[in-house]
Chains A and B, each alone.
Chain A
Amino acid sequence: MAEKDILLKVENLKMYFPAEKTLGGKVTNWVKAVDDVSFEVERGKTFGLVGESGCGKTTTGKCILRINNPTEGHIYYNGLDLATASRSEIWNIRREIQLIFQDPYGSLDPRQSCGDILREAIVLGEGRQSRKQVRERVDELLRIVELLPEMADRYPHELSGGQRQRLGIARALACDPKLIVCDEPVSALDVSIQAQVINLFQKIQKELGLTYVFIAHDLAVVRHIADTIAVMYLGHIVEIMDAEEIFRNPVHPYTQALLSAVPITDYDVERSRQRILLEGEVPSPLHAPAGCPFNPRCIYAKDICRKEMPPLKDMGDGHCVACHVCGRK
């Protein structure tokens, strides 16, 4: 097998937030938002992180950008450990790692015109340039995200949701990034617009050779855009697999339940397929269960599941599952 070209490697990442403190300031309880997460992202590929709210997918993304300082673990980007890098090292690397936010309404300054928003990012990212160079770059960025050049003079409130998200993408592209963390970039958009933006993401990736970490709760969207998918539950990755495997061969009981909960538009398939309805809700990360995080809702749970956290085991072809029961084959 050919050697994989790994751009980003996350090892045993932990991000704990203090939840309760004594009067003396000693932390007595932690919210383990991300608990021992490891994965690799290949250059030029898309890595999808799926999970329900509170599973730690956004926190993982924020750790990669060092918006959160991880409690423990390593994040290797091109050999540099971002988790321990100094501020100036991070500042340099930020140009190469960009973030696209979920909310195109809240992440753009309403008092700056679209052109100003892009100009700011260009100047901050690439240093001093002549006005002409900057203007040409703004035009180029707008062209890449398929916005009209006139848009540069408009303000965010004059744009539609889809156009705003395109502008958000253009801003992320301003300083020639290598890796983009996309946090729910299409979930606020209507279906017809969502498809336009997803296609745009794929087009840009092909043209500029970008690597994406694509965070979303919509399994179908992630399935469509990602090469590899990691399913998260309560701070842990429970399954990592090739994107095509998730529909053909989901192994972890949570992945199976998640998949069966996603309604699909094929009438005959949808009406006839078996559904797995999960009981109860995701437990609060403040009171995470002992052992496997999924054991209180799992139909296969055995004694060992309530005591020990199952490790992520490779089942062959890079399909890794963290389950005591289903992982054994």
Chain B
Amino acid sequence: MENKEILLDVKNLRTSFFTESGEVKSVNDVSFHVNRQEVVAVVGESGSGKSVTQLSVLQLIQSPPGRILGGEIWFRGENLLTYDRKKMRTIRGNGISMIFQEPMTSLNPVYTVGSQLTEVLRVHHKGMSRQEAWRRGVEALKAVGIPDPEARMKNYPFEMSGGMRQRVLIAIAVACSSELIIADEPTTALDVTTQAQVMELLMSLVQENGTSLIVVTHNLGLVTRYADRIYVMYAGRIVESGTTEMIMKNPRHPYTLGLMESVPKLDTEKGEQLIPIEGAPPNLANMPSYCSFYPRCKFACEECKNRPHPELRSTGEEGHYISCHLDVRGGKVNG
């Protein structure tokens, strides 16, 4: 196997929100890593903790009510959780950039795109002149494929379409030449054809600049096309991880399998029924001691309820992990 250099290594991360209805364990003992120049996807439904995990990496959790309770976040050989606020600020933007889901609300409506771009550049590169920052800003807009970047620098966000705004956010992330970009649902608010354009743009950045990319998404198709590796999250935990090929071709966790079966496909026969996952995700404030997927799992047996939540274990295939007591293969339980 080729030698891969690990860029980000998150170990046993736990983040909770302390609300009136109790402790909400949004991220519950999550470990994952990202290699250099790798595209990693974190897949899950709303409330699965996929976004909170990424916000925790950048320590952008609002406190109170949220708190990072434990774990380690190793980035470039240092544990980010030992950093103070000031030192953390040197990581955000320079080391790790984030692209948020809503291009409509992540830009400040009262400043021009240019001033927001140059602000970021000047904050992260102390002593950069205005002219230099402007020049780099125009370059960044050009790099993300915005036509007529000089004129666009003087535009306000409302003068741009959704796809354009998302490109501006990517330009801001790119401008600081971060080593890792975290994209939280980067294309959810966009139309399919624009979505394809934006994803191709992100992929070209990975290839040209050697950036690593974490894509947080619920869109399984997107993941199939672009990701190298996948982490599937459910109720604050990672339930399956592996290469895209392993997971898409041979899902071994009942939840992953259920997700794939419930996605409408373009080539199914007419009248074919979807196989939904029955029930609804559990309440994170009141989690059972047994497997959190047990109430919705179609393979569940008595044993699953009597044992504690399953640990991540290898499936036997190198790099493929699941947290399930059962051995589900090809949609059936073995043994």
Contacts and interface: CB of A to CB of B under 8 A. Distances in A.
Interface of A: 52-53, 160, 162-163, 190-196, 198-199, 202, 217-221, 223-225, 227, 243-244, 246-247, 257-259, 261-268, 270-271, 275, 277-278, 281-282
B266 A193 contact: no
B287 interface: no
B22 interface: no
Contacts of A192: 45, 258-259, 262, 276-277
B126 interface: no
Interface residues of B, number: 46
Interface in B64-120: none
Contacts of A160: 280
B221 A270 contact: yes
B221 A263 contact: yes
29 contacts: A52-B194, A53-B162, A160-B280, A163-B280, A190-B45, A191-B262, A193-B45, A194-B262, A195-B264, A195-B274, A198-B274, A217-B192, A219-B266, A221-B264, A258-B193, A262-B266, A264-B266, A266-B224, A266-B265, A267-B244, A267-B245, A267-B248, A267-B249, A271-B225, A277-B196, A277-B200, A281-B161, A281-B163, A282-B191
Give the interface centre of A192, A202, A257 by most chain B CB atoms within 10 Å. Answer: A192
Interface string B207-247: 00000000000111110110000000000000000001100
Given A190-B46, A263-B225, A267-B248, A224 B268 contact: yes
Contacts of B193: 52, 257-258, 261, 278
Contacts of A221: 264
A275 B163 contact: no
Given A160-B280, A191-B45, A265-B220, A217 B274 contact: no
A199 B276 contact: yes
Given A195-B276, A217-B192, A259 B266 contact: yes
A224 B271 CA distance: 8
A217 B191 contact: yes
Interface string B180-212: 000000000001111111001000000000000
A227 to B, nearest CB: 8
A262 B276 contact: no
A265 B278 contact: no
Contacts of A257: 193
B266 A277 contact: no
Looking at chain A's contact residues, is the secondary structure mostly helix, strand, loop, or mixed?
helix
B276 A196 contact: yes
A225 B272 CA distance: 9
A277 B192 contact: no
B60 interface: no
Which 7 residue pairs spanning A and B have beta carbons closest together? A263-B221, A195-B262, A195-B276, A52-B191, A224-B264, A192-B277, A190-B45
Give the interface centre of A191, A247, A259, A267 by most chain B CB atoms within 10 Å. Answer: A191
A192 B200 CA distance: 27
Contact of A244 (B162, B192, B270): B270
Nearest to B46: A190
B46 A277 contact: no
Contacts of A225: 264
Contacts of A223: 264, 266
Contacts of B163: 281
Nearest to A198: B274
B44 to A, nearest CB: 9
A193 B263 CA distance: 10
Contacts of B218: 190-191
Nearest to B268: A224
B297 to A, nearest CB: 12
A114 to B, nearest CB: 16
A265 B280 contact: no
Contacts of A277: 196-197, 200
A281 B259 CA distance: 32
Contacts of B196: 261, 275, 277-278
Contacts of B274: 195, 198-199, 224
Nearest to B191: A52
A42 to B, nearest CB: 15
A265 B266 CA distance: 10
A164 to B, nearest CB: 12
Contacts of B197: 277-278
Contacts of B261: 195
Contacts of B267: 247, 264
Contacts of A267: 224, 244-245, 248-249
B260 interface: yes
B333 interface: no
B301 interface: no
